[in-house]
Amino acid sequence: VLILAQNNLDYEDVYNLSTFENLRKLDLSYSIRKPDLIYLFKNSCISKSLEFLDLSFCKLNANDILGILKCRNLLFLILKCCNLKYGCFSCYDELFLDLKIQLLFLCISHCNLPKNALDIAEFSTKYLNILHLNGNTISKKGFDFICNSLKLKELSVSMCRFRFRFLKSLLDKPIMETLEVFKANRNLCHSEDLINFISSANEIEYYFMKCRDESGQMVEF
């Protein structure tokens, strides 16, 4: 385990990290301030052992995503508040199609994802249990893909600026059979959909803090 959060790492620092053979957990949050550094992980010693990688608030580009995807034993990947919109869109096919790595937990919250990022996604992983998409704009097509295709135990979509009745889209989808935790704080939730969801979610732990209904009234659960 190595925690290097809130440092300003340069090329030589990351290159040296890539030579570590038995490192399983690495926290680099706030520490990568230049793109093309995590690309050094590609086919390196660290790519064979790393299981947990936190790159929150780091500056990444498409090459860096490719470096991450070469870490084939990666189980936990946190990319919170990484701006993945500009310069990274070309890597989305790689990011989503190449999830053959056995990811259990993926956090891409507040990443400024393009609205249609999940529209073209085709996750090839069957291991993903937890997905955090907080603070991104998600289209109905992308949300339907998540609900139809992923067997998640936890889904977090707080502050996602939905422009459709997302709870109505969630009900009666395959994901309801596996979902154990659902977080949708600070969203607009239609009152009828809330009632239907709560009546159907007997075994789901859910959070709707500071949500508003169609009339603008605050509702909390």
How far apart are the C-alpha atoms of 171 and 194, rounded to whole Å? Answer: 10
Is there a domain that residue 60 lies in?
A: yes
**H-type helices in 24-111, by residue range?**
46-49, 62-69, 92-97
The pLDDT assigned to 99 comes to: 57
The pLDDT assigned to 62 comes to: 81
Mean pLDDT of successive 10-residue stretches along the chain, which has 221 residues: 91 94 95 93 94 95 86 92 68 57 88 78 72 93 89 96 92 93 96 92 92 87 62
Is there a domain that residue 150 lies in?
A: no
Sheet holding 130-132, edge to edge: 2-3, 25-27, 52-54, 76-78, 105-107, 130-132, 154-156, 181-183, 205-207
- Residue 210, token pair as written in the block: 């500071």
| Number of independent structural domains in the chain | 1
The pLDDT assigned to 122 comes to: 60
- Residue 24, token pair as written in the block: 């399983």
Is there a domain that residue 71 lies in?
A: yes
Query: Which of left, alpha, beta for 64 (phi over 0: left; psi -120 to 50: alpha)?
Result: alpha
How far apart are the C-alpha atoms of 119 and 158, rounded to whole Å? Answer: 19
pLDDT tens for 129-159 read 999 999 999 999 989 988 998 899 999 999 9
pLDDT tens for 156-183 read 999 998 989 999 999 989 999 999 999 9
Q: Identify the domain containing residue 27 by its residue range.
A: 2-128
- Residue 51, token pair as written in the block: 């299981």
Query: Which of left, alpha, beta for 92 (phi over 0: left; psi -120 to 50: alpha)?
Result: alpha
Is there a domain that residue 87 lies in?
A: yes
CATH of residue 105's domain is: 3.80.10.10
